[in-house]
Amino acid sequence: MDDDPAVLKALSRLLRSHAFRVRTYGSALEFLAAPPSDLPDCLIVDFQMPEMNGLELQQHLVSNGVAIPTILITAHGDVALRHRGEPVASLRKPLQEQALLNAINGALSGSH
């Protein structure tokens, strides 16, 4: 999930090329409006988004009993992300393909 359509498109293409099923959202509120039976196995969420940032979304989900492994991405290199909340990983943009795939595989296998 990212508020930048170009990032969404690039991430979607990359993940589909590695046989992941992908659903994109332009905001946390758009994701929260999705049907609850359609929860993903892993979230990739931009930290900087309007209305509700990625960390706030993750904390909202956890406080409502929804535990989805979450990978936070940021263009700002905020190292403090690693110490706030419980993301599986926090990665800096531009994303390195292998680092992202490793984080996703770790999230899906539960080895985070």
pLDDT at 51 over 80: yes
Q: Tell me the whole-structure pTM to 2 decimals.
A: 0.85
Give the pLDDT band of residue 13 (cuts 50, 70, 90): very high
Would you list the DSSP string of 10-65? HHHHHHHHTT------SSHHHHHTS-GGG--S-EEEES--SSS-HHHHHHHHHHTT
- Three-state SS for 77? coil
Q: Give the chain's domain count.
A: 1
Q: What is the pLDDT of residue 93?
A: 86
Q: What is the mean pLDDT of the chain?
A: 85
Q: Which domain holds residue 58?
A: 5-109
pLDDT score of 110 more than 80: no
The enclosing domain of 88 has a CATH number of 3.40.50.2300
